[in-house]
Amino acid sequence: MSHKPAVNSTNEKLALAFDDLAHYEFEHGGQNTPVGASYSKIARAIRDATDEITSGEDAMQYRDIGPKTAAMIDEYFARGEIAKPPTKDATSLGGSPRGGKVGHQRRRSKSRSDSDDDESKRHKERIGEKAKNAMNQGMANAFEDLAEFEFNRGHISAGASCSKVARSIRDANAEITSGLDAMEHVRGIGKKSAVMIDEYLKTGRIAPSDTAKYVGEGSGT
């Protein structure tokens, strides 16, 4: 597939690296297809950048480039390539079969920590899922990026909160036009998430430094 050249020619090789990732995901199809579409979108954003991109932090000034993508960009500048992630295996999503013997043991209720760990696993399976309303896709992706950022630095509760917000946004039928709108019409959106939604709608991204402020360990969304 041909692409228009990068506005700033120094960014073309970086864009091609994301094109390569997109092609890799598209080749595997199935659940990998939305992931490939996300990489293609990032490649377009890089080509549209007017200034030379020299770091992930530098790239985050552009729409659709969040902390997860920024980390991949830094990887490219450090190694000259971006490692291809494992593809999604549909057969692995069903989990272990139910109906095993439990004897007389009483099932313990899941703690918050258990629930957050489960959310971390589900987050990886949901990356790239399509929003019911396409206008909310970028916003959902921004929260998934934040979730990945928090999980990677060991803030499991914060990551789980961001992942749940992303899921709520994807499940919304109507376009979300403000944080207040989300609080009133989308289940699971609280004041802190509303502030982050307004930030996204204003700037096209959510700064990772705000994550600890708005979605701290053990806090609600």
How many Å apart are CA 197 and CA 204, to the nearest integer? Answer: 10
3-state helix, strand, coil in the chain (%, to 5): 60, 0, 40
**Span between the terminal Cα atoms of the chain, in Å:** 41
Backbone phi, psi, residue 81, to 5°:
-160, 170
What is the CATH T-level fold of the domain 116-203, as seen in this structure? DNA polymerase; domain 1 (1.10.150)
For position 116, what pLDDT does the model report?
47
Six token digits for residue 98: 């139910």
Segment 140-159 mean pLDDT: 81
Q: What is the mean pLDDT of the chain?
A: 76
Q: For position 14, what pLDDT does the model report? A: 95
| Greatest C-alpha distance within the chain | 67
Rg (alpha carbons) of the chain, rounded to whole number? 19
Measured distance CA(150)–CA(213) in Å, rounded: 12
Q: What pLDDT is attached to residue 158? A: 80
16 — pLDDT class (breaks 50, 70, 90): very high
Task: Enter the pTM of the model.
Answer: 0.47
pLDDT > 60? residue 10: yes
In this structure, what token pair is assigned to residue 171? 């499940």
Outline which parts of the chain fall under CATH 1.10.150.110. 10-79, 116-203
Over residues 160-208, the pLDDT tens digits come to: 888 889 989 999 999 999 999 999 899 888 888 899 999 999 988 887 6
Q: Which CATH number fits domain 10-79: 1.10.150.110, 1.10.30.50, 3.20.20.80, 3.90.1300.10?
A: 1.10.150.110
Residue 84 CA to its chain's centroid (Å): 16
Residue 29, phi then psi, degrees to nearest 5: 60, -160
Task: For residue range 18-75, list pLDDT tens digits in order.
Answer: 999 888 888 877 666 778 888 888 999 999 999 999 998 888 888 878 888 888 999 9
pLDDT above 50: residue 213:
no
The answer to whether 149 and 67 are in contact (CB under 8 A) is yes
Which one, of 101, 102, 177, lies nearest residue 139 by Cα?
Answer: 177
